[in-house]
Structure 1
């Protein structure tokens, strides 16, 4: 009779291998998440309140304000952040003298429209829905980025993202040092408990 071949026992992953895999994976994933967050990939587009009539053109904008012209020829402005609930609405201005953006660099127009359109997030403007768009970079040291999109239905959407000067360094320390260290502690504790239970 042929000898029965005894099944080989499965090799268990050693503590060092598991620790290396866990720490490396944590470091890579945490850094990818930090980079995505730093570039605003998790920021959602939001709609501004409805105008009295449909907007047809973005006159100008800065990191906190936008000025538009509507189909009836009127001019309106909207301020994103002012610390008061009363300002969360469109305000009509008399003429172009009231268009007073504070810009440290010229705004970008039209060429960025295609980069704004994405099906990745439900709040993002859809392909073919954007009529006009502008992008504004904030003044140093705020490191802000604001985008306004005029939709084909005459409404306006915006996207705002801000990074502090120390945010990249904080993200690097958190994703490269802190989180991998925490994962290493968790793996060590679980391995110690497993060995005690087996013993």
Structure 2
């Protein structure tokens, strides 16, 4: 990997630290050539600390190491993206990230939809919420609805109406997310099973 440590007079390049699983950005640091070499040699992320004016391995005092997964160079060869497995909080303040964010997996819109479903379940207003009214009928009714939607997806898969197929697929996914929460699970639990199967 060609890294241009000479672009800045101090010989440092910015390093973006990202959790390899959750994809959350955890922190920003700086490396010189020596810090980069030590990171690669030890598989523990080492920075050049501008305040301490020395090499600094994240976790050397706290034990919250950043275990190296991969290093990628940007298009200008002067910024690194380092994917890690963190051993505990990343920030010195004790938070998961240096932006005080929780380091959890986020599936974008699907995570937002899960939060809406959880909110509707919590409010339990069966007159205003379809989700609450479906759950009020019991787990068997929720499971039955998932089965009905699955059959409709199969039927539409055999036809040529792509819009109808996608709409039925959306209905299936929506009801499946309801069923997951009714059983006490979330999408990340299913993803975890799939990840284990991949190995």
TM-score by length of 2: 0.21
Bigger strand fraction: 1
Ranked by relative contact order (alpha carbons within 8 Å, sequence separation 6 or more), the top structure is 1
Bigger helix fraction: 2
TM-score by length of 1: 0.21
